[in-house]
Amino acid sequence: MTFQQLVSSHLIRERKLRGQFVLLLLISLLVSYGLVFVNSMVEGIQQRYVMLGDGEITVQGAYPEGEQVILASALIYGSSSVRPIALKGVGDSYFSAGRRAALRSLSRLEEQDTHSVTLGRTLANELDLKLGDKALVVIAIGDSFRPMLCKVGGIYDSGYAELDANLAFLPSKALEPYGFPVQTELVVGKGLEQSLRQIREEGYSARAWYEEEDDLVENLVTSRKLILVIFCVIILLGAYFASEFASVLVYDRRRDIALLSLLGSTRRSITRAFIRGICLLESMAVFLGLVLGILLSFLSRPLLGAISDYGFPSLTYYLLTFTIRIPLGQLALVALLLLVASVVSAAIGIRGIRKIEPLSLVA
């Protein structure tokens, strides 16, 4: 075993560095958990927005592919209250297997007619409506209103209460006589940019889901960037404390460092040994925190979903039923940034080794 390996292995067991190990482990755990959980939630909301909202690509007017829908605004009257809603006229094939997979549940009556309205579970609960109940839908047509007596033919649950409370579906045949605008929604999966460019080259007016001028879309697009900025600030704070831990270690071990110098070790070799030991310690902390953060994200999702079912109002603003997706690229980037920042700051913190002289043994 070389001198540097000997000193490094001794430093790893140093009690003074346990605080640094725990701190970096907690920061790594927090960052990895936050990235996995938030990115998974954002992708879940995006999936529901795409499937139930305007699709990945929205084409103005009719288009040979995709689902043609009709958009309208309306008021819906329930047993005890009234709510404004976005009403979407859809065809029989709208609730395909892909859209059903994006929903937590979808209950529908076997007998559907032209005036069968499908409500979100949140909206149905607010209006005290159940399957088969009658509901008065008042559609806004310019400056006038058209009342329509409908039957609750379906109740869907996307898992995102904000969407469920404001969006309802009606067969497009019920809205066709009133001249509402028609648009075509496409879910293309991979190759979105290529498909969008091709549709525009064909002369259609089309836009991607992220080009919508909508608060929800804006939040989805910016949330990923914002979470990275916040975690970078946390990483910088962790790096600062790593420097402080290293400085304290050098001060507490100044006699050992002076003794090593007296025995013939150069300051460069001592510094390298300290950096090697600190680097190994920080690498273990970051890696272990990364693994624990990922595991925690898998454990907390069903737990939060179970808690929300007991009726915590604050949790209704979040999507709690989604598939955990691990953003490997972002995790690797953040873990590398945390490790590099910690090692560099620790290297700065041990600069005091150069000022320690063998004469300090008698101080």
Q: Of 331, 336, 305, 238, nearest to 34 (Cα)?
A: 331
Any idea which of 10-24, 69-83, 268-282, 287-301 has the lowest mean pLDDT?
10-24
Question: What predicted TM-score, i.e. pTM, was given to this entire model?
Answer: 0.68
Measured between alpha carbons, how far is residue 2 from residues 5, 6, 9, 12, 259 in Å? 5, 6, 11, 16, 18
What pLDDT, in 10s, does the model give residues 135-192?
999 998 888 889 999 999 999 988 778 788 889 999 999 998 888 888 998 888 778 8
- Map residue 329 onto helix, strand or coil: helix
Query: Which amino acid does the sequence have at 164?
Result: D
How many angstroms separate the CA atoms of 207 and 258, rounded? 69
Number of H helices and E strands in the chain, helices first, is 10, 10
At 96 the pLDDT is 80
Residue 81 DSSP class: -
Phi-psi region of 66 (alpha: psi -120 to 50; beta: other; left: phi over 0): left
pLDDT band at 3 (very low <50, low <70, confident <90, very high): very low
Query: Of 185, 67, 84, which Cα lies nearest the Cα of 140?
Result: 84
Give the residue-averaged pLDDT of 56-67: 87
As a whole number, the mean pLDDT across the chain is 79
Cβ-contact 221, 323 below 8 angstroms: no
- Phi, psi torsion values for 116, nearest 5 degrees: -90, 115
Q: What is the pLDDT of residues 216-252, one digit of tens each?
A: 666 766 766 777 777 777 777 777 777 766 676 666 6
Residue 322 has a pLDDT of 74
Helix (H, G, I), strand (E, B) or coil at 10: helix
What does the pLDDT read at residue 234?
77
DSSP-assigned letter for residue 127? H
Confidence class for position 76, pLDDT limits 50, 70, 90? very high
Residue 128 tokens read as: 């005290």
CA–CA gap between residue 262 and residue 256 (Å, rounded): 10
